[in-house]
Homo-oligomer: A and B are copies of this chain.
Amino acid sequence: MVEEATNRAITALTDRRFDIASQVIESDAEIDSKEVLIEEECLKILALHQPVASDLRFVIAALKVNNDLERMGDQAVNIAERAAALARQPPLGIHLNVDRMADVVKQMVRSSLDAHVNLDTKLALSVCRMDDEVDELNREMFAVLQEHMRKDPEVSERAVQYLSASRDLERIADLATNIAEDVVFMVEGEVIRHRGGEIQADTQ
């Protein structure tokens, strides 16, 4: 559901689809209630079965991924809100590299979930590496839009909407990275958060 919400929010933004944006916003309540249910299930398992070792790590990772997915759903709603506002206004008329950023983010979301389901640490580490490109694309987007606002103050409102959407995409990439890190933790029992460049060096 969260992957679908993310993909739809991106389509609403790139294709100026008010109707799809509305669907994303409506579907969030169901994601929220799923989060509460999954958390309750995890707590039941911890209380009744008292898992240890890799089973314990699996439940803890599920708790964290559950939380990250719900936050990702919230970011998709933010993007959909920006998309809905932008769809009602004239196109900005400049080239923005939204498509590339959207493609990388979609791939990160998909791969982080596949890595989680298949306990695939190699795929998980590839997600961590993709995050740098998204950060860079987000910085480029800020530079292009700021330059545009300076030249033509009339676009500032729409440009700020795009800045917000770009930042939300970057946050979704961060959350996919969190999920990928939790996959490595779950499989290998090793915390790779906050290790930055080391991840790249370790796996090449």
- Which A residues are closer than 8 A to B by beta carbons? 29, 32-33, 35-36, 39-40, 43, 46-47, 50, 52-53, 56-57, 60, 63-64, 67, 142, 146, 149-154, 156-157, 160, 163-164, 167, 191, 193-194
Contacts and interface: CB of A to CB of B under 8 A. Distances in A.
Contacts of A52: 47, 50
Contact of A32 (B151, B152, B194): B194
Contacts of A146: 156-157, 160
29 contacts: A32-B193, A33-B194, A35-B193, A36-B193, A36-B194, A40-B191, A43-B57, A43-B60, A47-B53, A47-B56, A50-B50, A50-B52, A63-B63, A64-B67, A67-B67, A142-B160, A146-B157, A146-B160, A149-B153, A149-B160, A150-B153, A150-B154, A150-B156, A150-B157, A152-B153, A153-B156, A156-B156, A160-B160, A160-B163
A6 B163 CA distance: 24
Contacts of A152: 153
A104 B74 CA distance: 23
Contacts of A32: 193-194
A154 to B, nearest CB: 7
